[in-house]
Amino acid sequence: MDERRVQFIETAMKLFAQKGYHATSIQDLVEAWGISKGAFYHHFTSKEELLLVVLKYYSEKMMADLTAAVGGSEKEQFVRQLAAHFSHVRQYKEFLHMIMSEQLPKVNPEIEQYMFCQHGRLFLWYCSRLKDVYGEVVEPHLYDVAMIVNGVIRQYLFYFFFHEESFDAEEVARFLMRRFDAIIDSFAADERPLLTKESFASWIELEERERQKRRERLASAFSAVREAAKELGSKKADDVLEAVDALEEELLGRHEPPRTYLVDALLLYLRHQQAPSLAAALAELSQEIKTYQQLNG
């Protein structure tokens, strides 16, 4: 995303947080941006579309922070990811204020659908991480535990949003991790779960559709890079195409998780090819890879 568009989004978010989405007019926005109303409609079709762009921009940033790979055991990684989640209370305070002070899902069905999907995406990420941390022990009651974990974290986030001076993100994460250990230990081996995979079929189906859509977008981005490579000299084009094939196989052709070091190395090689015809397609590919990796944890 270009720097100017990011500035528009960040400024709009601050206005929405300060004045409220409904009370902020397009005139307020264009005055803050220093552009005309005509220029506004060049970038966004409506204030509603702008709001959706703002929601996606900040939600994706927060989700990327939460799901970022960190070192250590699975449990230590989860603790540090939760600490990053709690740090959002300070880092994204204005955005969270905007979310909490407005009935945003009622703006239009598309925004309601996006926010519903984001709730599901976070819940299913908790399911995935709990399986990584606790293994077979948690599986019989996975969705109940994920629901409890999600509820506990949401309530603590809500409290610290109003009392941010009184908490340390890592201390909170470790405190809650000990509680989660105790919750999992409390289940009897023969206890019937309240919630099952079928209870969350709508979220799971949405997540699968999003994954498939992202795979298709990524495949399309690879095709665009191959098309751009045809404009290079034959030897250079062969080298680029070989690297692109290896990168696509690593991301889409294997059943195992992509090897990050290999993905990074291949992208670095491609970026070093001094070819203007390749630059735009490669930038789009890099963005699609980033989004695809975030979605797949």
Q: How confident is the model at residue 132 (pLDDT cuts 50, 70, 90)?
A: very high
Confidence band for 195, pLDDT divided at 50, 70 and 90: very high
Query: Residue 296 has what pLDDT?
Result: 66
pLDDT beyond 80 at 258: yes
**Predicted local distance difference test score (pLDDT) of residue 186:** 95
Q: What integer is the mean pLDDT of 166-173?
A: 91
pLDDT averaged over every residue in the chain: 89
Higher-confidence position of 149 and 294: 149
Exposure b/e, 34-73, CB count within 10 A at least 16 = b = eeeeeebeeebeebeebbbbbbebbbeebbeebbeeeeee
**174 Cβ contact list (under 8 Å, min separation 6):** 79
**Of 25, 87, 13, 16, which is closest to residue 56 (Cα–Cα)?**
13
pLDDT digits (tens, 9 = 90+) for 239-253: 889 999 999 998 888
Instruction: Confirm if 244 and 223 have CB atoms less than 8 A apart.
Output: no
Average pLDDT over every residue of 219-227: 90
- Statement: residue 142 has pLDDT above 80: yes
pLDDT per residue as tens digits for the range 34-47? 999 999 998 999 99
Model confidence band, residue 211 (pLDDT cutoffs 50, 70, 90): confident
Q: Is the pLDDT assigned to residue 58 strictly greater than 80? A: yes
Indicate the pLDDT class of residue 294, thresholds 50, 70 and 90. Answer: low
Confidence of residue 297 (pLDDT cuts 50, 70, 90): low
What 3-state class would DSSP assign to 167? coil
